């Protein structure tokens, strides 16, 4: 089962990917997490990506596609993967098709998590993530059990620089221009299921689980 979670920044892709990964025993891959790991390790890719991330722009397609190709050909993803944050452009969608075809696989479904912009700003401004494992939290909607500390791994949580208001606006614009065309692109292939992402985490999770279960039949 190869799935894509599509949606604007702050829609809940990372939050829901983690839940679905656990429920369906499908590992997930988040392009943003991979870039941030590269930056933490000061790799060439990380330093390059950060120039774009800091401005709220997309990292160029060629490096992004290469990074994802490299990752999902690993044996741990052989039985399937949940992609979060990739693809984000039509060129990346074509890239994904090629990657999967090369591995003798196909895309089974795209779950589009729809959330209005006003709500996204609220979610992004309160988001905190774990420095080590990148689990997302929210100061109001999903606080960690112990303030400032990740429930999963015990490391510190922090606010991403690109979750500050100036960059959030740029990211939403980039989403509407470059990523939202993927909604119709995948709809046209009959791969898209839209889920209302404006409810609470549990409600959205139930809706998504049901879609995945029906795709598995």
Q: Which residue has the tokens 């599509």?
A: 6
Q: Which residue has the tokens 């990506």?
A: 49
Question: In the bound complex, what is the minimum distance in angstroms from residue 165's beta carbon to ligand ADP?
Answer: 14
Pick the stretch among 5-13, 70-78, 97-105, 208-216 that binds ligand ADP (CB under 6 A).
5-13
Considering the complex, state which of residue 139 and residue 215 has its C-beta at the smaller distance from Zn ion. 139
11 is a contact residue toward ligand ADP (CB under 6 A): yes
Measured distance CA(82)–CA(95) in Å, rounded:
16
Catalytic residues: 13, 88, 127, 160, 171
| Three-state SS at 203 | helix
Compose the 178-217 pattern: x for residues touching Zn ion by CB under 5 A, - for all others: ----------------------------------------
- Helix (H) or strand (E) holding 95, with range, is helix 90-102
DSSP per-residue letters across 113-157:
EE--HHHHHHHHHTEEEETTT--EEETTTB--SSTTB-TTT--BE
Question: In the bound complex, what is the minimum distance in angstroms from residue 142's beta carbon to Zn ion?
Answer: 13
Considering the complex, state which of residue 93 and residue 104 has its C-beta at the smaller distance from ligand ADP. 93
Q: Which of residues 31-90 bind Zn ion (CB under 5 A)?
A: none
Considering the complex, state which of residue 109 and residue 123 has its C-beta at the smaller distance from ligand ADP. 123
> If contact means CB under 5 to 8 A according to the sort of partner, which of ligand ADP, Zn ion, none does residue 77 touch?
none
Q: Which of residues 139-158 bind ligand ADP (CB under 6 A)?
A: 141-142
133 is a contact residue toward Zn ion (CB under 5 A): yes
Burial class for 184, CB neighbours closer than 10 Å (0-12, 13-18, 19+): exposed
Measured distance CA(196)–CA(205) in Å, rounded:
10
Question: In the bound complex, what is the minimum distance in angstroms from residue 217's beta carbon to ligand ADP?
Answer: 26
> If contact means CB under 5 to 8 A according to the sort of partner, which of Zn ion, ligand ADP, none does residue 88 touch?
ligand ADP
Measured distance CA(81)–CA(83) in Å, rounded:
6
């Amino acid at each position: 089962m190869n799935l894509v979670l599509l949606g604007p920044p702050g829609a809940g892709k990372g939050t829901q990917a983690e839940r679905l990964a656990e429920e369906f025993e499908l590992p997930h891959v988040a392009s943003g997490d991979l870039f941030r790991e590269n930056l933490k390790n000061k790799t060439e890719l990380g330093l390059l990506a950060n120039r774009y991330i800091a401005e709220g722009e997309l990292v160029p397609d060629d490096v992004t596609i290469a990074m994802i190709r490299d990752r999902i050909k690993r044996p741990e993803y052989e039985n399937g993967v949940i992609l979060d944050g990739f693809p984000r452009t039509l060129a990346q969608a074509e890239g994904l098709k090629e990657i999967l075809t090369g591995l003798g696989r196909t895309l089974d479904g795209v779950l589009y998590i729809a959330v209005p912009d006003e709500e996204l700003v609220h979610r992004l401004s309160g988001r905190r993530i774990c420095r080590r494992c990148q689990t997302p939290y929210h100061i109001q909607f999903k606080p960690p059990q112990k303030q400032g500390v990740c429930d999963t791994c015990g490391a510190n949580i922090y606010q991403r620089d690109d979750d500050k208001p100036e960059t959030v606006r740029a990211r939403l614009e980039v989403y509407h221009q470059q990523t939202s065309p993927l909604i119709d692109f995948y709809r046209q292939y009959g791969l898209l299921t839209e889920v209302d992402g404006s409810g609470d985490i549990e409600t959205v999770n139930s809706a998504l689980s049901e879609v995945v279960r029906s795709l598995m039949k």
